[in-house]
Amino acid sequence: MSIEGELYRPLGLKHERRPVAWRLPTSSEVLLVVGMLTLAATSVWVVMHGHAPRRMADILAEPAARPAPVVVDKRPKIVARPMAVPQGPTIITPNGISQPATFRVEDPTDYRQPPSMAYMPDPALIEKSPYGPLPIRAADGRRPFDVYRGSWSGKPATRIAIVVGGMGISQTGSMEAVDQLPKGVTFGFSPTGNSLDRWMHAARRGGHELLLQVPLEPFGYPSVNPGRGTFTVAQAAAGKFADLYAALGSMTNYVGVMNYMGGRFVGDKAAMDPFISELGRRGLMYFDDGSQPRSLGKDTALVDGVPAATANILLDDSQDPAAIDKQLDTLENIARAQGSAIGVASAFEQSIETIAAWIPEAEKRGIEIVPVSALAYDPEAN
């Protein structure tokens, strides 16, 4: 034995070094290790979840869970119904009962006088002058054209306006026109007529719209003379409006001016420009009776922003009722072709009677008789 071997051998024993041999663990050793690991995992689960994990065998052994019983409520159900909401505004009466309120919505730009006050001049539309009460725009912008215009349905229909002039000249003719003609007919008053305030009141109470006929210079003047206070070309061109103001101040409550004669005047630009401009300044419309084909009236009015209209046909050039009826039929044909038309007549007995008889029949055929302002083109409203 070597010296190294002697050093490691215990005293008194005889010992020899043997090689180390490796072996597989026994089954009991494996089970012991697995048990220890299972115990450790269980401890961790309990710490994390508060209870030990359930074994699959225990879970399978449990009886199947029964579904919760369904409880059927056999009591009658109360169905909540929505509260009835009143349509539109309501009025609450003193006893607490609500009732539907009815009201009318009107165009906020409709400045027409109420029918009960239609014969009363609006003080805001009057300029006091030595010539009488002259029409003028109100401080708030309202025009006589806006306030004194007649009413109509506003529904789409074939529309006809009929202007009966010469009112105030014949007391009999004026009375028959007011009594027999429906409110849709427009009346043209002569500034040289009699009892103009009386007839104005009667016409406005009857719902009629009014125009003022201004005598204008005709061809051949003064041999051909429209009458006292004729407004001439020279006067208009020079801005001398005394005769025009005398005519305008003869009455009130009219929407505009129409020419009486004036063949030369209405075709002269130097006269028409200041004349129409003055009408526009005062808030009036211009209606041309259509007697002068070369009239500059409507074109001048539109350029100056003045409401304007022109007649299509003279209804009573002849005083034969049959001839007037024929003209009325022609007027209806024009209206059906272009949607509207305007006819002019005078306050003669035959004219009034024939027109009064024709209007109800025309209305049965779908014609609406409207004030002439309803057919005027108003640049301020377009």
**pLDDT tens digits, the chain, 382 residues: what are they?**
444 444 444 444 444 444 445 456 666 665 666 567 666 665 555 455 555 555 555 544 555 555 555 544 555 454 444 444 445 444 444 445 555 544 444 455 789 999 999 999 999 999 999 999 999 999 999 999 999 999 999 999 999 999 999 999 999 999 999 999 999 999 999 999 999 999 999 999 999 999 999 999 999 999 999 999 999 999 999 999 999 999 999 999 999 999 999 999 999 999 999 999 999 999 999 999 999 999 999 999 999 999 999 999 999 999 999 999 999 999 999 999 999 999 999 999 999 999 999 999 999 999 999 999 999 999 998 7
Could you read off the pLDDT of 62-108 as tens digits, one per residue?
Answer: 555 555 555 445 554 544 444 444 454 444 444 455 555 444 444 55
Decide: 234 and 188 in contact? Cβ < 8 Å: no
Average pLDDT of the chain? 84
Residue 197 lies in a domain: yes
Contact (CB, 8 A) for 181 and 164: yes
In a domain, 235, yes or no: yes
The Cα–Cα gap between 340 and 361 comes to 17
Is residue 297, in this structure, part of any structural domain at all?
yes
369: closest CA among 379, 382, 360?
360
Q: Is the pTM of this model over 0.75?
A: no
Look up residue 346 and give its DSSP letter: E
Checking DSSP bridges between strand 158-167 and strand 340-346, what pairing results, if any?
A: parallel
- Does 50 map to a domain? no
At residue 63, the pLDDT reads 55
Range of the domain at 144: 127-381
In-domain check, residue 298:
yes
State the total domains in the chain. 1
Return the pLDDT at 106.
41
Shortest CA distance to 296 belongs to which of 274, 313, 314, 317? 274
pLDDT of residue 382: 77
| pLDDT at position 92 | 46
Looking at the domain assignment, is residue 326 inside a domain? yes
Q: Is residue 28 in some structural domain? A: no
CATH, residue 287: 3.20.20.370
Given this model, what pLDDT does residue 75 score?
Answer: 53
* 330 Cβ contact partners less than 8 Å away, ≥ 6 residues apart: 313
Instruction: Judge whether 137 lies within some domain.
Output: yes
Per 3-state DSSP, the chain is made up of helix, strand and coil in percentages (nearest 5) of: 35, 15, 50
